[in-house]
Amino acid sequence: MTGSRGENRHNLSTFYADPGLLLARQGSPAAGTAAEDFADWVLGLFDGFGGLDVLDAGAGVGRFTTRLIRLADAPRSVVALDLFTSMLEMISSRAGAMPGLGLVNGDIDHLPFRSSAFDLVFANHVLYHLSDIARGLDELGRVLRPSGSLVATTNASEAQVPVIRLHREIAAQTGYGSETDASPFALENGAAILAGHFDHVETHVFTSATRDASGEELVSAYATTGRFQLLVEALGQAAVLDLARTVAARWFETCPDGLSGEVRMAAFVCR
């Protein structure tokens, strides 16, 4: 994950500098199988990748990068760019010596590539971190070839998954964080933002169910999120965990069979 979200750049460093936290988040019960299924679904929007030069901007732990380079019709080259070298090291360890793979430490605000360098650019769950989304989109568009495509993915702002509901309740109780946590780039507003930079924007929506079987499972999932880390910085880890366990226990008293929710995510394909 890379970007320059001005108000929370420190939080980016404390959370995303540790690839283990992101791996845990993507594999948590709160995410269900959505994180992995979503990546396959996005790639399935395309007929193939053979012969393409691809940029994975804000690659994180390489959820898309590693899939791309292992496809039967893999791209000619895949460059994974991230703000944090620890993420790139994780990708390297997961991918091994894969032909055509490049790892670049850099920022979407100032992409270290020549213009028209890529046929396809991915910006997966990253644009909402940028302090200037318009500048980031200008840079992503600059490095695309005239016939190329940008794929920008994100979440729905009105997420109903228990882990986000838990955060919002704790934020409301303590006065820290955001109760609504509205995203500057989400399913609801993403197409309009992208339309200011691209002639054609297609919106594709992915849905999946999540389930938490116990209060401890829910709290463990919450502890892998950036939202949790923000509150920890303000209140301390013990205090946030105590609040989370109290809220979760109350919820599971009335829902002993578990809590479920619906994940909604978007993939915008722009040309």
Name residue, tokens 């992915």: 206
Phi-psi sector, 20: left (phi>0), alpha (psi -120 to 50), beta? alpha
Looking at the DSSP bridge assignments, the partners of residue 209 are 262
pLDDT for the residue numbered 126 = 94
Which range marks the domain in which residue 100 is found? Answer: 6-156+183-209+265-270
Say if 78 falls within a structural domain: yes
- Grouping H, G, I as helix, E, B as strand and the rest as coil, residue 187 is coil
Write down the pLDDT at residue 209. Answer: 84
Note whether residue 229 is domain-resident. no
Residue 122, both tokens: 């991915």
Which phi and psi angles does 37 have, rounded to 5°? -60, -40
125: CATH = 3.40.50.150
Q: How far apart are CA 145 and CA 271, in angstroms?
A: 10
Tokens coding 221: 């999932």
Q: Say which residue the tokens 């012969």 belong to.
A: 51
Instruction: Give residue 10's pLDDT.
Output: 42
Q: Could you tell me the pTM of the whole model?
A: 0.85
Residue 203 counted as domain residue: yes
- Whether 97 is in a domain gets the answer yes
Q: Which residues of the chain have pLDDT under 50?
A: 1-10, 28-33, 179
* Residue 166 is assigned to a structural domain of this protein: no
Say if residues 224 and 21 touch (Cβ distance below 8 Å). Answer: yes
| Residue 194, helix vs strand vs coil | helix
3-state DSSP: the chain helix, strand, coil percent, rounded to 5? 45, 25, 35
Among candidate residues 117, 250, 223, the one with its CA nearest the CA of residue 163: 223
Q: Return the pLDDT at 2.
A: 39
Angle, CA 262 vertex, CA 261 and CA 264 arms, to 5°: 150
Residue 224 within any structural domain of the chain: no
Give the C-alpha distances (Å, rounded to integers) separating 24 from 19, 75, 152, 165: 9, 28, 23, 19
Whether 222 is in a domain gets the answer no
CB crowding 110-138: b at 16 or more within 10 Å, else e:
ebebeeebbbbbbbbbbbbbbeebeebbe
Q: Exposed, middle or buried, 79 (CB in 10 Å: 0-12/13-18/19+)?
A: buried
Quote the CA–CA distance of 260 and 76 in Å, as a whole number: 41
pLDDT at 212: 83
Tokens found for residue 63: 């959820």
CB of 39 within 8 A of CB of 67? Answer: yes
Domain count, the chain: 1
Q: Give the per-residue pLDDT at 160.
A: 73
Token pair 């794929």: residue: 151
Asked whether residue 219 is assigned to any structural domain, the reply reads no
